[in-house]
């Protein structure tokens, strides 16, 4: 996993601090070429991984990368699924089951639909989950997706329900069908880590808010610091600036102060901000102790 | 440990189940729904006990409290059954569709000393609570205007197959969206004394309303406007915004931030200066024990537990929810009445001088000539 990953919230009108800013960004990135231009800026700054939702518009980004392999020879996508709002909106319109049905593959019709129908009828959650995962990941066909994340709304909803089997189903599907590493986004990292361990998912990749403010770090900062120190999972820190509430250097000093954190994901809209953040992470990372994988690689 | 049950496992019920199950002071004993499919999956994978008949669940299980998230039409019967068994009740909004029923259930719960809460979760968003704190301190002086808006992408085409698209089931933008905005206005400045000029209109739906506009009056000199529309695709999800004007400034508030403009600061208020003051959700929000889809959803459940344990009155009760239903019902009555209308059409000829009509501008010589030519040619 690269040290710095590029996120996509800024492209889709997600801003945890201001709806006005979110709308301005949605307008700015209305045209997919504006998104690609920012990804190019990030690439030029040495960021080779795009961690993105399965929002319908990402498929246009995928088309671009598929069409230009020589321009991005070493590029990686980390898809995060499902894109939850489309399910939530569909559930309000069609009911919970209707929403699931509406996202089962339409084309390749007979086989997929039959399989979906059978899965629904037999309460075969695994078959159904595989179909939904396939539908979400279709846009990434032919691209390098070495890690696939389960979005936090799904992870945390299932975590709360105690639907632990779903994590295993997700992990198996990602490993077997996509030859990728399963990963989990959560707002409840200490609780999730414990649960995943219990069902035998060892040393999982977990992406969680890690910031000095404790913003959306359920379980509290001490529990997170304990989790980080124990090194039982591979951590990706997100929301490191707490949506802009923290000044960049102060925010990154805190996160980079934990060498166990393997990667940092952030989103930005301008070359200047991307460059500044990347430079700061590199600077603060070099100054810190080697990370857990580096230590392992060194035989420590 | 409070023993809890959940009745109704749609979007809200399942989301409650996730949070209730994760709450350290609650034990989820059983759930109830009419969908055998949902029950089978839950029972198989989460081990929770399931029922398809809520009466059976209420009589067989020893519960302390129950969460009700059925379609709105069933709230009355289910809430009544739960109260009769002396259970503390958390019911989804809009609670009872008919305000009289709502107040009757509020009386019953209060008489029995049972904790009663309704899922108006906007009351648990830190930014709205900060706005309330500033209003309670009279920071922007005497209020004269409040505007509440709620927009989102629920109905974007002429179809829909759930109870939300049926009027008889309590569907429609009025009960789904407007009630949140009405409840927030009630929370911030009190229940309006009158409603007028209500427009309840369809955009795509065939049976229910998609957009609602209304004018409110609160006491003598405070007027409000409500604008809600659930057929707006430009929003990613439901978005509620309230703007309030007073003699000493204004406040804009949504879930993300509070912006307060203060003209003159008579006495120091912590963290507030004259001019614009902006505070963000990141600094205002209190951490929750478990997060699924927004702190407010977790916070309201934790609050319910707290109120049961301490006998405190919840922030959103059967009574405050019935206040919102009363305003919504008044708006329906208002919308069906003949509306006071003053025409803005410029009438032809002498009738234009009738009272209420505006006088037309004198026709120009060129226009008159043009008309005559038209007639001649025609």
CB of A195 within 8 Å of a chain B CB? The answer is no
Let me know whether B200 and B232 are in one domain. yes
Q: Is the pLDDT of residue B305 over 60?
A: yes
Instruction: Return the CATH number at B85.
Output: 3.40.50.720
Is B164 within a domain? yes
CB of A153 within 8 Å of a chain B CB? The answer is yes
Q: Which residues of A touch B47 (CB under 8 A)?
A: 162
> How many domains does chain B divide into?
2
* C-beta atoms of B289 and A218 within 8 A: yes
Q: Measured between CB atoms, which of B22, B42, B256 is closest to A160?
A: B22
Whether cis (ω within 30° of 0) applies to the bond prior to B107 is no
Let me know whether B76 and B140 are in one domain. no
Of A113-117, A151-155, A276-280, B330-334, least confident by mean pLDDT is A113-117
CB of A15 within 8 Å of a chain B CB? The answer is yes
Q: Is the pLDDT of residue B145 over 90?
A: yes
Is B224 within a domain? yes
Which residue among B92, B121, B150 closes a domain?
Answer: B121
Q: Which residues pair with B260 in a beta bridge?
A: B251, B277
* C-beta atoms of B154 and A92 within 8 A: yes
Is B368 within a domain? no
Is B358 within a domain? no
Let me know whether B35 and B182 are in one domain. no
Which residue among B262, B296, B330 closes a domain?
Answer: B296
Global pTM? 0.89
Residue A75 CB-half CA count within 13 A: 25
* Res. A108 pLDDT band, cuts 50 70 90: very low
Which residue among B53, B87, B121 closes a domain?
Answer: B121
Q: Which residues of A touch B162 (CB under 8 A)?
A: 92-95, 98
Q: From edge to edge, which strands make up the β-sheet containing B249-253? A: B194-201, B211-218, B222-229, B143-151, B239-246, B249-253, B257-262, B275-280
* C-beta atoms of A93 and B241 within 8 A: no
User: What is the pLDDT at residue B378?
Assistant: 46
Let me know whether B107 and B15 are in one domain. yes
CATH topology for A4-297? TIM Barrel (3.20.20)
Let me know whether B213 and B142 are in one domain. yes
Distance CA B320, CA B117 (A): 9
Is B332 within a domain? no
Let me know whether B260 and B270 are in one domain. yes
CB of A14 within 8 Å of a chain B CB? The answer is yes
Of A52-56, B118-122, B213-217, least confident by mean pLDDT is A52-56
B56 or A14: whose pLDDT is higher?
B56
Let me know whether B46 and B109 are in one domain. yes
Let me know whether B91 and B138 are in one domain. no
Q: Measured between CB atoms, which of B47, B162, B255 is closest to A94?
A: B162
Instruction: Return the CATH number at B129.
Output: 3.30.360.10
Query: Residue B18 belongs to what domain range?
Result: 2-121
Q: Is the pLDDT of residue B194 over 80?
A: yes
Let me know whether B74 and B181 are in one domain. no
Is B195 within a domain? yes
Q: Which residues of A touch B297 (CB under 8 A)?
A: none
Is the distance from CB of B304 to CB of B65 less than 8 angstroms?
A: yes
User: What is the pLDDT at residue B171?
Assistant: 77
Is B346 within a domain? no
Q: Which residues pair with B28 in a beta bridge?
A: B4
CB of A117 within 8 Å of a chain B CB? The answer is no
Residue A231 CB-half CA count within 13 A: 9
Distance CA B189, CA B144 (A): 11
Instruction: Give me the interface pTM, i.e. the ipTM.
Output: 0.88
Q: Which residues of A touch B282 (CB under 8 A)?
A: 16-17, 213, 215, 242-245
CB of A220 within 8 Å of a chain B CB? The answer is yes
* Interface mutation vs chain B, best among A161, A223, A241, most B CBs within 10 Å: A161
A144, exposed or middle or buried, with CB in 10 Å at 0-12, 13-18, 19+? middle
Let me know whether B69 and B110 are in one domain. yes
Residue in B with minimal Cα distance to A151: B292
* Sign, CA torsion B284/B289/B295/B298: negative
User: What is the pLDDT at residue A287?
Assistant: 56
B282 or B312: whose pLDDT is higher?
B312
Let me know whether B214 and B77 are in one domain. no
User: What is the pLDDT at residue A105?
Assistant: 61
CA B60, distance to chain mean position in Å, is 34
Q: What is the mean pLDDT of residues B71-77?
A: 95
CB of A38 within 8 Å of a chain B CB? The answer is no
Total beta-carbon pairs less than 8 A apart between chain A and chain B: 132
Is B146 within a domain? yes
Dump pLDDT digits (tens) for A216-254: 999 999 999 999 999 999 999 999 998 788 899 999 999
């Amino acid at each position: 996993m690269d040290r710095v990953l590029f996120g996509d919230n800024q492209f889709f009108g997600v801003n945890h601090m201001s709806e006005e800013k979110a709308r301005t960004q949605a307008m700015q990135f209305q045209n997919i070429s504006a998104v690609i231009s920012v990804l190019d800026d990030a690439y030029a700054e040495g960021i080779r991984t795009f961690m993105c939702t399965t929002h319908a518009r990402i498929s246009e980004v995928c088309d671009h990368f598929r069409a230009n392999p020589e321009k991005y020879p070493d590029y990686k996508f980390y898809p995060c699924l499902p894109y939850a709002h489309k399910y939530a909106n569909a559930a309000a319109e069609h009911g919970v089951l209707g929403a699931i049905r509406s996202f089962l593959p339409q084309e390749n019709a007979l086989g997929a639909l039959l399989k979906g129908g059978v899965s629904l009828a037999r309460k075969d959650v695994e078959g159904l989950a595989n179909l939904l995962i396939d539908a979400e990941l279709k846009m990434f066909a032919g691209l390098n997706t070495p890690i696939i994340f389960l979005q936090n709304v799904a992870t945390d909803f299932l975590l709360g329900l105690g639907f632990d089997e779903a994590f295993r189903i997700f992990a198996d599907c990602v490993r077997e069908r996509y030859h990728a590493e399963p990963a989990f986004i959560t707002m409840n990292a200490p609780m999730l880590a414990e649960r995943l361990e219990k069902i035998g998912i060892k040393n999982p990749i977990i992406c969680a808010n890690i910031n000095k403010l404790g913003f959306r770090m359920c379980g509290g900062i001490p529990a997170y610091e304990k989790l980080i120190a124990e090194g039982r999972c591979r951590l990706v820190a997100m929301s490191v600036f707490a949506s802009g509430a923290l000044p960049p250097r102060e925010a990154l000093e805190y996160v980079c102060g934990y060498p166990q954190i393997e990667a940092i994901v952030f989103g930005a809209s301008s070359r200047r901000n991307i460059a500044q953040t990347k430079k700061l992470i590199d600077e603060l990372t070099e100054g810190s102790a080697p990370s857990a994988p580096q230590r392992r690689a060194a035989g420590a | 440990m409070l023993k809890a049950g959940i009745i109704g496992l749609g979007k809200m019920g399942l989301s409650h189940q996730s949070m209730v199950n994760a709450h350290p002071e609650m034990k989820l004993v059983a759930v109830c729904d009419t969908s055998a499919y949902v029950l089978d999956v839950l029972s198989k994978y989460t081990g929770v006990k399931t029922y398809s008949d809520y009466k059976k669940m209420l009589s067989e299980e020893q519960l302390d409290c129950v969460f009700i998230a059925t379609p709105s039409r069933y709230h009355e019967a289910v809430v009544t059954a739960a109260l009769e068994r002396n259970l503390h009740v958390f019911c989804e909004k809009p609670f009872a569709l008919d305000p009289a029923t709502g107040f009757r259930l509020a009386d019953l719960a209060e008489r029995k000393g049972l904790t009663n809460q309704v899922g108006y979760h906007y009351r648990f968003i830190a930014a709205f609570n900060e706005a309330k704190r500033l209003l309670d301190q009279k920071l922007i002086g005497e209020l004269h205007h409040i505007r509440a808006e709620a927009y989102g992408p629920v109905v974007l085409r002429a179809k829909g197959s759930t109870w939300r698209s049926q009027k008889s089931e309590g569907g429609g933008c009025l009960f789904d969206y407007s009630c949140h905005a009405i409840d927030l206005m009630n929370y911030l400045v009190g229940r309006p004394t009158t409603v007028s000029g209500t427009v309840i209109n369809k955009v795509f739906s065939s049976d229910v309303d998609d957009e609602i506009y209304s004018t409110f009056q609160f006491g003598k000199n405070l007027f409000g406007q409500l604008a809600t529309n659930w057929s707006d695709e430009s929003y990613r999800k439901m978005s509620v915004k309230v703007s309030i004007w007073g003699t000493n400034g204004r406040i804009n508030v949504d879930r993300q931030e509070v912006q307060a403009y203060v003209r003159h600061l008579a006495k120091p208020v912590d963290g507030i200066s004259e001019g614009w003051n902006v505070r963000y959700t990141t600094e205002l929000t209190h951490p929750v024990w478990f997060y699924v889809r927004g702190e407010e959803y977790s916070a309201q459940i934790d609050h319910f537990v707290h109120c049961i344990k301490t006998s405190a009155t919840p922030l959103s009760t059967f009574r405050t929810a019935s206040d919102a239903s009363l305003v919504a019902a008044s708006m329906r009555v208002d919308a069906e009445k003949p509306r006071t209308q003053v025409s803005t059409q410029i009438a032809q000829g002498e009738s234009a001088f009738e009272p209420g009509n505006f006088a037309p501008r004198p026709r120009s010589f060129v226009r008159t000539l043009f008309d005559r030519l038209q007639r001649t040619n025609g």
